[in-house]
Amino acid sequence: MAFLSESEPARGVPLAVVPGISRIVARNPSLMTYHGTNTYLIETGDGFMVLDPGPDDVGHLDDILKATGGAVSAILLSHTHSDHLGATAALKARTGAKTYAFHLSADDAFIPDILLRDGDSAAGMLAIHTPGHASDHLCFAYRDGILFSADHVMSWSSSIVSPPGGDMADYVRSLRLMMARDDRLYLPGHGPPLPDPRPYVQELLDRRLKRENEIAAALAAGPLGTLDLVDRLYSKTDPWLRLAAERNVVAHLLKLKSERRVEDKGDLWATPEA
């Protein structure tokens, strides 16, 4: 796929994205997070909305407070993975801002102040439930065709779908939901903005469906384990990337099982005919 890349961004300062929106990139770079989590600062009439406060890091929290002057009117959360949720409680404590997130939190320790459902208004934005990467994942539609796509669609990489919190059938449905929209710009949870996103989303969807067909074809030749499938279908050598690939394989297998295209036989998987 034609993923996008960017040089390492400046740290600790807001970087302009479009008029009225900037991002601070957290200092949590990794193979899974690229240069780090994007915390978005969205200007309002009474301060800033903060979307995804980022990891539990005092330095990053200080960066947010300095950039906003502490004038935070709302805290929006795309999902409860720790690299997005971590600083939320501390930011709320320092600013008094209410938190907005999906009403069924995937983290038992976090209950948002404002419980969002699909289609709800979230501090002037539209909340769109897009499960797949996480069961409580939300995208937020802003004005002028701008959508905060968080980890559902990222420009620098495809998303990990890791059961049980991740669900491949949900992820495919959520990609199709995005295809039905006409947004012009995605602002993802990691990596640079993604202009003209629909062809990219279609490619992501095609790639997932192609992968599941490859898995089914491999199993038609005989039962295999998940790591056998990783070895056959992926070129990953880094241990962390192999682990991520295996989680995606498991997610594909569970989707295929729900469709009765494969079945599990203990530690192995096979097609019903095998």
Mean pLDDT of the region 102-108: 97
**Rounded Cα distance, 27 and 241, in Å:** 20
State the pLDDT at residue 273. 72
**Rounded Cα distance, 81 and 83, in Å:** 6
State the pLDDT at residue 2. 85
Q: Are residues 92 and 174 in the same domain?
A: yes
DSSP-derived letter for residue 158 is: P
Burial of 136 (0-12, 13-18, 19+ CB in 10 A): buried
Q: Which helix (H) or strand (E) holds 73?
A: strand 72-76
State the pTM of this model.
0.95
Q: Are residues 123 and 28 in the same domain?
A: yes
Q: How many of the other CB atoms lie within 10 Å of CB of 268?
A: 15
Q: Are residues 108 and 191 in the same domain?
A: yes
In the chain, the number of structural domains is 2
State the pLDDT at residue 104. 98
**Residue 89, helix vs strand vs coil:** helix
The residue behind tokens 């309002």 is: 44
Q: Are residues 144 and 264 in the same domain?
A: no
Is 9 within the bounds of a domain? Answer: no
Q: Are residues 103 and 134 in the same domain?
A: yes
Handedness of CA 148, 149, 151, 154 (dihedral sign): negative
Mean pLDDT of the region 136-150: 98
Is 90 exceeded by the pLDDT of residue 238? Answer: no
State the pLDDT at residue 178. 97
Is 185 within the bounds of a domain? Answer: yes
**Rounded Cα distance, 184 and 71, in Å:** 29
Residue type, 184: R
How many residues are there in the chain?
274
Q: Are residues 175 and 99 in the same domain?
A: yes
Q: Are residues 34 and 107 in the same domain?
A: yes
pLDDT digit string (tens) for 163-175?
A: 999 999 999 999 9
**Which of the listed residues 166, 195, 224 is the one where a domain comes to its end?**
195
Q: Which helix (H) or strand (E) holds 222?
A: none
Q: Are residues 49 and 20 in the same domain?
A: yes
Is 70 exceeded by the pLDDT of residue 67? Answer: yes
**Rounded Cα distance, 175 and 201, in Å:** 7
Q: Are residues 48 and 105 in the same domain?
A: yes
Is 90 exceeded by the pLDDT of residue 235? Answer: no
Q: Are residues 166 and 30 in the same domain?
A: yes
Q: Are residues 149 and 32 in the same domain?
A: yes
CATH of the domain at 124: 3.60.15.10
Q: Which helix (H) or strand (E) holds 230?
A: helix 226-233
**Which of the listed residues 141, 168, 195 is the one where a domain comes to its end?**
195
Q: Are residues 70 and 187 in the same domain?
A: yes
Is 204 within the bounds of a domain? Answer: no
Is 256 within the bounds of a domain? Answer: yes
Range of the domain at 265: 214-270
CA dihedral 274, 210, 135, 21 (to 10 degrees): 170
Is 6 within the bounds of a domain? Answer: no
**Rounded Cα distance, 39 and 257, in Å:** 37
**Which of the listed residues 195, 230, 252 is the one where a domain comes to its end?**
195
Mean pLDDT of the region 89-111: 98
As given in the structure block, the two tokens for residue 211 are 């992968």
* Number of continuous H segments (helices) and E segments (strands) in the chain: 7, 15
